[in-house]
Structure 1
Amino acid sequence: MLLFIVRRLGAGALLLFLIATATFLLLNLTGQDPARQIVGQAASAAQAAAKRQELGLDRPVLVRYGEWISRIGQGDLGTSWFNNQPVTALLAQAVPVTLSVVLGAMLVTSVLGALLGVLAAVRGGAVDKVLQVLSSLIQAIPSFLVSLVLVLVLAVQLGVLPATGYVSFTNSPSGWLSSIVLPVVSLALGAIASVAMQIRGSMLDVLQYDYVRTLRSRGLPTRSVLFRHALRNASPPAVTTLALMFIIMISGAVVVEKVFNIPGVGTQANIAAGQGDLPVVLGVVLLTVTMVVIVNLLLDLAQGWLNPKVRVA
């Protein structure tokens, strides 16, 4: 298992290096002039040239790339070109905000997706058909539209939740919870439908196995048979879906955070991309790829724990 983890970490490090290299080169070969955007269109050519020299943009791309990679190896992501703050500090402030929303959405997705999937597989009939129809409808609705509807109904009309803004957990646990409810629901709705349908299909297969009939014949409670034995064997495909949903939620956070005015990684990425703040954009890319690598590693470990055949392989 240790060798497996080391191999996966090595592959993840290589992936991170390749994506970082490709992103750096693509962003620096677009032909745009960040120095002109920083000093403004009214500035003189001399002022733009001075800013370009200050940022090091007058040097060859490969030279800048080598310096950037060497700083990355030391844990230095550079400094924002627009507010002169370290990129690591900006991301350190934004990551807890995004993770609180994404992990909250993952928790809601896991619990409700499993319960609805098991319910549809066991009950069947009208319950199963209703779940399938609702899942198809929910997955067809864009997350930004769900966000706007939630804001209009729950925040504007009913006033039960704040429409925008974020409160940190350290300042007010209750305020933090109320500020992330709508973003969590916006991200989780489509994922719940996907996971529920995955669980439903797997449970329908597992419930036909001989060991399930044996457990029932021995008088085990239905709840124990379903959630302790059958659900574990039906969960590997759903775990894979959950990992994919996490990655999708990280990208979906860009839209959701903008709608709800949440100062997370998505908001930082939006602002940096609009300004042409390359150090921040590169920092967000590196952070996102690192998250994907970690999630894929955790997925493999979870699959090995749930499925002994995978563990042996």
Structure 2
Amino acid sequence: MADKTVDGGPWTGCAVMFLQSLCPAVNLLALYKDQQEGKFIVFKVIKLTLIDSAGGLAGYEILKVHDADPFLGVEVKFVEVAACQQFLESYSSGAVLQSLSQHASRLLSLSQELRVETQLKASTHTLDLCLDDPQLCLQHIHFSQPERLRDEEIDHLEQQLQSQARRPAPQLTTNTQEESPLPSNCFKFQNRVFEDRMLTAADVQSFSNGVGRQWKTVGRALGRNCRALKGPAIDNLAYEYEREGLYEQAYQLLSRFMQAEGRAAKLSCLVKALEDCKLTGLAENLLDIQPQE
């Protein structure tokens, strides 16, 4: 299916994803109704999940987040068929659920991953019932055209997210003119300070979605300090997963790195490798840095 319809117009479609926490202590709908911090955190979780599952920032937009008690409804307009296809693949494979859980657990400072129930609909069609037929799902989404423009509340939240991304990190200062050393759990990127952490499954997915043919280059950069990626290891991965394509090759690369390095497989290691390979855009995506308009 192309990005244009039969009459030459752009391909568009609309789907609504319904979310409900299965953890009694976390109510996503109630959090979103919190006009202070809760609403923004839940929106950020949704936005980061869509970035992971639709392959970046382009090809879709959130139109509205609404009360569908006991669910939270997220109405998404797709403007590129490729983004819609990738989202459907991620949803069908369970990757959307995984991203939701991991981003929510991190941003809500939960001690374990949040379990979430989802439903996906296009107009009156429940897409969960036909996920084994991606073309039928695409057709339902395409025929379900959005009935509204983007909600003003979503505009405000998008602006708030961009403003947060542009905000400079607090400067580490001392009483002397010398720069303070970074704490052991932090690292610098683009003159900003970030908290370091172990890589997650969501990081692996974001990396695999965005790195493309550069995965080998990044692998060699990681291999400078990882014995499991030295010598012919990367070429062996390329050969072993050639049929599965670039996503799987990149996925297996980072999985191999995490297995070999254990608790030392940190976000800072991957960001440094991406920076060395001049893939700063992908590093910004991993660090939740929104591009400036």
Whether TM-score is above 0.5 comes out as no
TM class by shorter chain equals: under 0.3
Richer in strand (by share): 2
Richer in helix (by share): 1
Greater C-alpha radius of gyration: 1
Q: Could you state the TM-score of these two structures normalised by the residue count of structure 2?
A: 0.22
Q: Could you state the TM-score of these two structures normalised by the residue count of structure 1?
A: 0.21
The higher relative CO (CA closer than 8 Å, separation ≥ 6) is in 1
